[in-house]
Chains A and B, each alone.
Chain A
Amino acid sequence: MPIDWIYGLVGGLLIGFAGVVLLLGNGRIMGASGIIGSLVDQTSGAATRERVAFVFALVLVPALLQIGSPVDTGTMQSTLLLVFAGICVGIGTRMANGCTSGHGVCGISRFSVRGVVATAIYIAAGVLTVLALRLIVGEL
């Protein structure tokens, strides 16, 4: 499996550079939940057009890349679970003001206490959720 770790590191660097471009270029923090959330509740104001552009490219580039290598979406089976999980992620990231990119990448990299604490909590909650899934439905 270590080849996956190297792909992870390379992909992670690209995600980091994406955050660098947005921070040093536009002065913005690259938080996916803040970007899409402010578009949907119309609180993005003057930043609306650049946020739409960000979301557009975030859909377009994986669309092009997956032509060569399709993505495994095996965990996305139950519609009920998709809806419930989506609502949890939507409420949770807006209430906590950040997700994996905002609190995780952008927060931890500036040693933000909120970022570190939020990341520790959502990873812990995720680990317990997967453990519960395992106990209830067996193998993932």
Chain B
Amino acid sequence: MRILLALLSGGLFGAGLHISGMTDTGKVQGFLDLFGAWDPTLAFVMGGAIVPMAIAWRMVPGRSPLAGGTFASPQEHGLDNKLILGSVLFGVGWGLIGLCPGPAIASLSYGGWRGAVFFIAMLVGMLMAPFMVRRVDEMNARA
């Protein structure tokens, strides 16, 4: 049951990325090209995705997940410099190519070897992340 729901979710995500045009890295870069030929499509994608999720969050209190277990509780420990520095780094990489993690995974199916290069580099970055986080924590401890 959990596996089937995860398959359904991943499949819907992939279909949504394809239909919305968000597998087209040029459209994503176009959204970030605020001072050029701005393409607002990504804002419509975000808006379209946020509406069903906002309704779902309101259904969470007092219930359990359909497949059992408990709801994962999102982190809410306020703002810290890891959130800020991490988001800056992510935004730079996102702007350079137009791929964020979801489409980067999906790009394995359409991006050819270039999609695979980005994907593998992203995994390397993810493996490097704990060391970078430790450095930031050390800086914070000294400050």
Query: Which residue of chain B has its CB nearest to the CB of A83?
Result: B121
Asked if B56 and A23 make an inter-chain contact with CB atoms under 8 angstroms apart, the answer reads: yes
Contact with A along B24-66 (1 / 0, CB 8 A): 1111010011111001111111111111111111011001111
Report the Cα distance A60→B23, complex, angstroms.
13
Q: Which of B81-113 contact A (CB under 8 A)?
A: 82-102, 104-112
Taken residue by residue from 13 to 48, chain A's Cβ proximity to chain B (1 for < 8 Å, 0 otherwise) reads as 111111111111111111011001100110000000
Asked if A32 contacts B109 (CB within 8 A), the reply is: no
Contact B97 A81 (CB under 8 A): yes
Q: From residue B136, how far is it (CB to closest CB) to chain A in Å?
A: 7
Whether B10 and A87, one on each chain, are in contact in the complex, defined by CB atoms closer than 8 angstroms, is no
Chain B, 111-124, contact with A by CB distance < 8 Å: what is the 0/1 string? 11011011111111
CA distance A28 to B72 in the complex (A): 6
Docked Cα-Cα span, A59 to B116, in Å, equals: 12
Among candidates A7, A17, A50, A126, residue contacting B20 with C-beta atoms closer than 8 Å? A7
Pick the residue among B49, B101, B133 that contacts A99 (CB under 8 A). B101
Count residues on chain B whose CB falls below 8 Å from chain A CBs.
Answer: 116
Given A16-B52, A81-B97, A89-B93, are A8 and B88 also a contact pair (CB < 8 Å)?
A: no
Q: Shortest Cβ distance from B118 into chain A, in angstroms? A: 4
**Pair A95/B110 contact, Cβ less than 8 Å:** no
Q: Are A1 and B104 in contact (CB under 8 A)?
A: no
- Contact residues of A with B, CB < 8 Å? 1, 4-30, 32-33, 36-37, 40-41, 49-51, 53-63, 65-66, 69-77, 79, 81-97, 99-101, 103-110, 112-114, 117-119, 121-131, 133-134, 140
Enumerate 6 A-B pairs (CB-CB under 8 Å) in ascending A order.
Answer: A21-B8, A32-B102, A90-B122, A94-B125, A96-B85, A131-B33
Residues of B within 8 A of A (CB): 2-27, 29, 32-36, 39-57, 59-60, 63-67, 69-72, 74-76, 78-79, 82-102, 104-112, 114-115, 117-130, 132-133, 136
